[in-house]
A = this chain, B = another copy of it.
Amino acid sequence: MMENEVFASFAFYSTTLIIKMYVLAIITGQVRLRKKAFANPEDALRNGGLQYHREDPDVERCRRAHRNDMENIFPFLFLGAVYSLLGPNPIVARIHFLIFCVGRIVHTVAYLLQLKAPTRSVAYSVAQLPCFSMALQVLYAVITRW
């Protein structure tokens, strides 16, 4: 499958986005340490005391960004793979993947830097367009095959 140009392109953008999510997890951990806000008492005890077992708005912001990534990037990992198997035009396919990838990176940046609304929502919506397109193409391919 890695010989398949579309699938290789999909693997590249998908893996880039997974690394982006890993970086977000690392940032969340750094914010927890800097703001001294730990989700677990055992972590707080190791970092100054139980009073640091608390919530923090910056940590929650990171966690919302991460959750939104899970809600949207994980379905892309599936849809993009199945869509790649449909034999789409390589240029059109790459445009799908690129729009999603850029949209999701902008989404994360807008979330973490608290950019003025609706920057984040626009990035989210733009990234959803190739997902809906791929989902419909997969459904269409299966239905016309039956």
Given contacts A2-B145, A70-B70, contact A79 B15 (CB under 8 A): yes
Q: Closest CB of chain B to A79's CB: distance in Å?
A: 6
Q: Please, how many residues of chain A have a CB less than 8 angstroms from a CB on the other chain?
A: 53
Chain copies in complex: 3
CA distance A97 to B31 in the complex (A): 30
Q: A42-B116, A145-B2 are in contact. Are A16 and B70 (CB under 8 A)?
A: no
Question: Complex formed: what's the CA distance from A111 to B43 in Å?
Answer: 11
Main secondary structure of the interface of A (DSSP, over half): helix
CA distance A135 to B131 in the complex (A): 22
Question: When the two chains form the complex, which single residue of B2, B45, B66, B75 contacts A18, counting CB atoms closer than 8 Å?
Answer: B75
Chain B residues closer than 8 Å to A82, beta-carbon distance: 2, 11, 14-15
* Beta-carbon nearest neighbor of A14 in chain B: B78
A105 within 8 A of B: no
Q: Measured between alpha carbons, how far is A18 from B11 in the docked complex, in Å?
A: 20
In A17-59, which residues have CB < 8 Å from any B CB? 18-19, 21-22, 25, 39-43, 45-46
